A and B are shown apart, each in its own frame.
Chain A
């Protein structure tokens, strides 16, 4: 009886400590977040529109490396999401890493059916890498699926009249 009461008291104390550590940890991190946001931007944390907004701000500030890294993480958390991979490919191409951008999209094609925009983006990347035949295949597929392809690219690939 006594040992059962002691066990109960011990469990009560443990759960109180667990609550204090958990709730205290959450509260402390919220306050730390507010202070850090204030120090960084001079204001309380703004309402975020998209998790990649800070990446876009980094690009504006000339930190293109951070811009790509944030996109890499976005794609790593959503490895089977073609839209996330498409964003990564766009960031890599913008950063000048066209071969890596192509590799990302080729991996996306292997995932299964993809949004038509993947074919259009790949067509542009192949064309800019002087891989004309592959560019034509992807541009044709994009047109079939109704994705917008730059008209001048279609003309150069012989898929539209100039």
Chain B
């Protein structure tokens, strides 16, 4: 079952329910509704159960980009800096940041928290585009640009929303400066209010435009109008899910929950790509792919545990405190993940393209 039902979900990677809830992030809506009803902050819930969730989802997802990098066919040849030099650069950056936590490390920490929402936005754009292309909705360059801007809006909201805590805009300009100038503050508040609406309005408008765009809207060189269909629901859900956290929750809660849901989404899609690259073709049915996914996930959890839980102890052994050891490890793994991720998902002239355009799991390739 690949093609859409009533609202045209789009061509799935695994299956309609899994794609909609996990890969597209549809789980965000019931979870956000429950959290708003429950009223407890992420911090209050963290103390109850999150350490295990953090290991199995968040930390595993950060490790997943590294596992993917080193298991991606041909990565050593096509990405020499990332595969060979980045570990050394990361180790050096981490060591300097731990040793000079108050001077250098604090900027690494602020960078990681500021970059995170951008990374989520970029992933949203990537997934929304993939679903469009998979589902026979090729985008003109203008539509692609509009999609990118719509996906970036939650990042802009987070960039302003983190001001009070010293992240995003607050990393560059102290909150006191923003609040101290009446005009600047009015502009700031206006921008926040605008983004609260635009985060949801822009994806809906784009969805509507792509559903009813005139057949002749394609420019020369764009795909033939006859083959153009509307944006799949999965692309819309990806965008709305990412916006949900940054509009409905305060900065910290948005950060925590977006990370959990993003991690789940990331693990699912990276496992699909890994299985397509490594599972033997159809001969062993779905079992070969499942075995690949299980191995991949086990590696991610083990590496996540090693990096997040064991690495800080090495710096404690060297005489540094638990706080700088832990926060700097978290910060540097985040930045490493963002850098690696910016390259391993490229589609042009990459085998990734085959997976994006290929059939859902369990379906034989066409042609």
Which of A's residues lie within 8 Å of B, judged by CB? Answer: 15-16, 18-19, 21-23, 25-26, 29-30, 32-34, 36-37, 40, 44-55, 66, 69-71, 73-74, 76-83, 110-113
B106 at the binding interface (Cβ < 8 Å): yes
Q: Which residue of B46, B166, B170 contacts A50 across the interface (Cβ within 8 Å)?
A: B46
B85: A residues at CB distance < 8 A: 15, 18-19, 22
The reply to whether B323 and A79 contact each other, CB–CB distance below 8 Å, is no
The reply to whether A36 and B88 contact each other, CB–CB distance below 8 Å, is no
- What are 25 A-B pairs at a CB distance below 8 A? A22-B85, A22-B91, A25-B87, A26-B311, A33-B313, A33-B316, A34-B313, A45-B309, A47-B51, A47-B54, A49-B46, A49-B47, A50-B46, A52-B323, A55-B323, A70-B321, A73-B102, A74-B327, A76-B106, A77-B327, A78-B166, A81-B165, A112-B176, A112-B177, A113-B175
State the main secondary structure of chain B at its contact with A: helix
The reply to whether A30 and B46 contact each other, CB–CB distance below 8 Å, is no
B324: A residues at CB distance < 8 A: 73, 77
B306: A residues at CB distance < 8 A: 30
CA distance A79 to B110 in the complex (A): 10
Range for the number of chain B residues in contact with chain A: 35 or more
A80-B175 in contact given A37-B313, A50-B46, A73-B102 (Cβ < 8 Å): yes
A30-B321 in contact given A25-B91, A82-B164, A113-B179 (Cβ < 8 Å): no
B89 at the binding interface (Cβ < 8 Å): yes
A29-B314 in contact given A22-B86, A22-B90, A51-B326 (Cβ < 8 Å): yes
The reply to whether B317 and A36 contact each other, CB–CB distance below 8 Å, is yes
The reply to whether A110 and B176 contact each other, CB–CB distance below 8 Å, is yes
B74-108 interface (Cβ within 8 A of A): 80, 83-91, 101-102, 105-106
B322 at the binding interface (Cβ < 8 Å): yes
The reply to whether B327 and A45 contact each other, CB–CB distance below 8 Å, is no
CA distance A152 to B106 in the complex (A): 39
